[in-house]
Amino acid sequence: MNGPLIQARERLSASRRVAVLTGAGISAESGMPTFRGADGLWRDFRPEQLATPEAFSRDPKLVWEWYDWRRERVARCVPNAGHLALARLEHRHGAVTLVTQNVDGLHALAGSLQPVEMHGNIWKARCTACHRVAEDRRVPIPIPPACGICGGMLRPHIVWFGESLEGEVLERAFGAFEYCDVALIVGTSGQVQPAASLAGVARQNGAFVIEVNREPTPHSALADVSLMGAAGDILPRLIPE
């Protein structure tokens, strides 16, 4: 085992509070495409055509078709060794907050107790009329789907570009990174705010920052240790059974 991995492992076992941030990279080995990589979703699709409130007002059917396609893909995925290692850390350590930008729900499926889902969840829909949020696991989903309570049109319960994150979600995410002594940043390109600021907040408050990614990112410069490789390979070695 190499030096940086040993150092990161020791820091993690000696830590009092851990904050974890994950991005699309942790689900890549489960079969979910990332957004910005060579096979990333944003190479074939333009975010402004599919992941903005304007796109939904213009063409709700198109937006729902895209989410239906992604839901169908997520439904076929299972958590990988990386998700399972993080769930293990959470259960064993007792003071871990897991924050994810992913909407696929795979952390919860792996056994993480209360992941902070910054960008929402692909299995939830929200009524555009009465604003009720409800779980909806229909695959395929009737397009466009209607609210069971008021009949209004449902939209995916996802934070789109140009929309604000919920206050409580922001508080939980920023609180976790402000007060942690070890921050673990996994599989994110660090290009989307406000998630991209979390590692810096931890660093400013004296935390030890560990990055796990297949390639260098803007986080690499501030990380104390950058572990380059696949999350499904590195995380089980960082958090052994």
- Count of CB atoms situated within 10 Å of the CB of 168: 9
Cα–Cα dist 167/176, whole Å: 14
The string of DSSP letters for 160-175 reads: -TTPPPPHHHHHHHHH
The C-alpha R_g of the chain, in whole angstroms, comes to 18
Q: Site size for ligand OAD, by CB under 6 A? A: 26
Q: Name which of 33 and 181 has its Cβ closer to ligand OAD.
A: 33
Rounded to an integer, what is the distance from CA 232 to the centroid of its chain?
15
- Does 230 bind ligand OAD (CB under 6 A)? Our answer is yes
- Does 184 bind ligand OAD (CB under 6 A)? Our answer is no
Is the CB of residue 199 less than 8 Å from the CB of residue 21? Answer: yes
- Does 191 bind ligand OAD (CB under 6 A)? Our answer is yes
- Least Å distance between CB 102 and ligand OAD? 6
* One character per residue 150-169, x = contact with ligand OAD (rule: CB under 6 A): ---------x----------
Q: Which residues are catalytic?
A: 119
- Does 197 bind ligand OAD (CB under 6 A)? Our answer is no
* 171-173-175-176 Cα dihedral, nearest 10 degrees: 160
- Least Å distance between CB 229 and ligand OAD? 7
* 84-35-192-227 Cα dihedral, nearest 10 degrees: 50
CB half-sphere exposure, 224, CA atoms < 13 A: 21
- Does 34 bind ligand OAD (CB under 6 A)? Our answer is yes
Stretch that binds ligand OAD, among 35-43, 108-116, 128-136, 165-173 (CB under 6 A): 35-43
Is the CB of residue 81 less than 8 Å from the CB of residue 26? Answer: no
Is the CB of residue 142 less than 8 Å from the CB of residue 149? Answer: no
Stretch that binds ligand OAD, among 25-33, 56-64, 126-134, 139-147 (CB under 6 A): 25-33
- Does 36 bind ligand OAD (CB under 6 A)? Our answer is yes
CB half-sphere exposure, 35, CA atoms < 13 A: 15
Question: Contacts with ligand OAD in 90-129 (CB under 6 A)?
Answer: 101, 119
- Least Å distance between CB 210 and ligand OAD? 13
- Least Å distance between CB 4 and ligand OAD? 15
Q: Name which of 23 and 145 has its Cβ closer to ligand OAD.
A: 23
- Least Å distance between CB 118 and ligand OAD? 7
C-alpha closest to that of 24 among 122, 113, 162: 122
Residues that bind ligand OAD (CB under 6 A): 23-25, 28-29, 34-37, 40, 51, 101, 119, 159, 187-189, 191-192, 212-215, 217, 230-231
